[in-house]
Structure 1
Amino acid sequence: MRNSEFKLKKARRSFICAACAAIVFGAAVSPAWGDADREPAKAAESLEKMSREEILFSRKALYDKVASATRIPWYRIAAIDQYEHTLTKAHPKDRSHPKRLTGIFMNEPVWSGLFNPDPNDSNPHSIGIFNGYGKDGSGDGLADMNNDMDVLYSMASYLLRHGQSEDDFSIALWEYYHNSRSVQRILQFSKLYEKFQTLDLSGHAFPLPISDSYSYRDTWGTRRSWGGYRIHEGTDIFAPYGTPVRSTCYGIVELKGWNPFGGWRIGIRDLDNRYHYYAHLQGFEKKLNQGDIVVPGQTIGWVGSSGYGKPGTQGKFPPHLHYGIYRDSGLAEWSFDPYPLLRHWETEERKAIQKKRKGTS
């Protein structure tokens, strides 16, 4: 009995000594980026002075470096980072951190390790002992949860634990978020980045071809009675039957089919984690399927008067497009007024058309 207790105490002392040695003498095992490779992180200090193009260029440089070191495709890293940006936008207080290029947020228990006595630990070795996710990606010997390279390298290293196939990626996302919505969003973002090989996918279009044949006003929040009293979660754009309905964004077709309220409708998810809802359609573009990628201005259907009943119900109201837009908080979605965006997209497209006409005249 005494012998076993002695061995147990000896094992504990050995573990504690090893942990202390790692903390005091350990050196970080990480990619050797060099001084020039740490420039993107320095750029984050003057983030507010950077243009949108410079920010995207710097982010892409970070993703490429981490991808080169870990062989995790850059577009998967970018997809997670973009999704995390949208979560911070939805929950700024819960995910507060100093301004930086990247959006991935890990709280102290995740970064340093759940049972780590130092919640602000930045030593990669001691963090590893307590199974924290934090790693040194910049090569400075520290695992800083607010350093862009450290954050991205830590996430990529986590993904590597599961493997590099697409299925491995999906499993890793589920194990990290435990939320099917999160997995779906990140896979959608990854698909878009892989398709276009760029981060700059912010272009937009008005949902109908620019003309004088349509009319609309701000109808968001007005009362509706069919199916029970509720508010109108969108803007109605009145136009003749058969007017083409276009995607307003780069996105993924998330839903397509019949809805008792909206009739024939399509839902498209964009990279800002916004759901674009097009309802009361006369029909769909035949080649368009759920999961397909769309671009701004692409025809997705035609104006109709479907809805307010069983599949096929038509003509209970004048033909129009109901356009709604919803933001995802990670656990739920809520609508917001699309009218200001519609006015902006319409104005920008009219200017572009006029500019093109002047250039060809």
Structure 2
Amino acid sequence: MRFIFPVILTMFFSFICYSTGQAAETNETSIYDQRMELYKRVELVTNIPWYYLAGIDQYERNVRQSRRDLPKAEGITGIYFKPEIWAGPLNPDYQDENPLSIRFFNGMGMDGNGDGLASSTSDEDVLFAFANYLLSYGTEHDHIKMGLWDYYKRDKTVGIIVGKAQIYKHFGRLNLDDHAFPVPLRSNYSYKNTWGAARGWGGRRIHEGTDIFADYGVPVRSTAYGIIEMKGWNRFGGWRIGIRDINNNYHYFAHLSGFAKDLKLGQIVEPGMLIGGVGSSGYGPPGTSGKFPPHLHYGIYKDNGYTEWSFDPYPHLRLWERQERQKK
């Protein structure tokens, strides 16, 4: 009996952990389904394609997660209107939910679910209000870009949102959170945490990434679902590629030996897709190579709607490496 009880206890906790994991996965799937249903419903009414709505919503959600001056999203969507924008700049009541008075004061708030109220805490009302704003410019791609620029007044924001929309349209779904380790696990590689270390070439600066040392020509792979935002030469990074994912993260791959065949700007990529090879390019004019051992410099940068900064990719690399080993 003393051997049976531990076995039963282990089975019990295993079942609990499995059930909890299943519940979390189901809940995530449910959120994606709810969002997609809402996007499609608003698209049906406004003719604004769902993938643009998804791109805007995801952009704003990521911005709110990375900034302290904005409230965190509480519903299933992430779009945020300042009270004075929602109710109208001259409205004496910034908490106003009356669609008629909001319209009178030129507020953006609208009733999207038919309950007679224009609530800034309602997912339906908020998404419908933003879609209706874009509708005033038109439903074509260029019209939507014009509307986005007039709203955000930032070219980079417009580019990021349009990129997200293209990614969502390409894959036809919202659940695009998987990642891959940047080099094949079967290859001979090594890396350690060097983010923030001093660098002297080209002036005093810190190392904004993790160096993964591997043999020359070892395949370099995309780490996320994203769109190629930059491809070419940099005197520090040599041949390099920049990929923007759906979470406002910019994945930077440098010192490459070359690029994958037919790889081009604006191309949609997914985790594990070949984008280039490990090399030793950089630290000089175009074509300079061999000034250091071959390795991949991998960095991640976050955009928060105002600026972009580097953060330590090492913990993410360890996580993706572990997850990929578990899958195999």
**TM-score under structure 1 normalisation?**
0.83
Asked whether 1:341 is paired with 2:296, we answer no
- Does structure 2 retain, via aligned residues, the 8 Å contact 1:281–1:321? yes
Identity of aligned residues (%): 55
User: 1:97 offset after TM fit, Å?
Assistant: 5.3
SS of equivalent to 1:162: coil
Q: Return 5+ residue gaps in structure 1 as ranges.
A: 1-47, 354-361
Deviates further, 292-301 or 52-61: 52-61
Question: Does 1:116 find its partner at 2:91?
Answer: yes
Cα deviation code 1:244-290 (max 9, x no counterpart): 00000110000000011100000000000000000000001120101
The 5 A counterparts of 1:52-201 are: 52-91=28-67, 93-96=68-71, 99-201=74-176
SS in 1 for 2:58: helix
Write out per-residue CA displacement over residues 1-57 of structure 1, whole angstroms, 9 at most, x where no aligned residue.
xxxxxxxxxxxxxxxxxxxxxxxxxxxxxxxxxxxxxxxxxxxxxxx9972111111
Query: Could you tell me whether the CA contact under 8 Å between 2:61 and 2:73 is conserved in 1?
Result: no
Shift of 1:212: 4.8
Q: Which runs of 5+ in 2 are unaligned?
A: 1-23
> Could you say which residue in structure 2 is the equivalent of 1:270?
245
Aligned to 1:251: 226
C-alpha distance in structure 1 between counterparts of 2:73 and 2:253, whole Å: 38
Letter in 1 for 2:253: Y
In structure 2, relative to structure 1, the CA distance for the partners of 1:97 and 1:352 (3 Å cut) is closer
Matched position secondary structure for 1:215: strand
Residues 214 and 173 of structure 1: CA distance in aligned 2, closer, same or farther (over 3 Å): same
Q: Aligned to 1:164, what secondary structure does the other structure show?
A: coil
Q: What's the RMSD between the two structures over aligned residues? A: 1.3
**Displacement of 1:188 after TM fit?**
0.2
Looking at structure 1, the residues matched to 35 and 184 of structure 2 have their Cα atoms a distance apart, in angstroms, of: 34
Which of 276, 291, 303 is matched with 2:278 structurally?
303
After superposition, what is the alpha-carbon deviation per residue over 1:56-110, rounded to whole angstroms, capped at 9, x for unaligned? Answer: 111111111111111111111111000100110121x322156111100000111
The runs of at least 4 aligned residues of structure 1 exceeding 4 Å deviation read none
Alignment map for 1:41-60 (pairs within 5 Å): 51-60=27-36
Q: Which has the larger radius of gyration?
A: 1
Q: Take 2:72 and 2:31, find their aligned partners in 1: how far apart are those partners? A: 18
User: Residue 351 of structure 1: CA displacement?
Assistant: 1.3
Please give the alpha-carbon distance, in whole angstroms, between the structure 2 residues aligned to 1:225 and 1:114: 51
User: Structure 1 pair 287/67, CA: closer, same or farther in 2 (3 Å)?
Assistant: same
2:136 aligned counterpart, secondary structure: helix
The alignment of Structure 1 onto Structure 2 pairs a total of residues equal to: 305
Change (3 A) 1:180 1:147: same
Whole-angstrom distance in 2 between the partners of 1:50 and 1:104 = 24
Change (3 A) 1:154 1:212: same
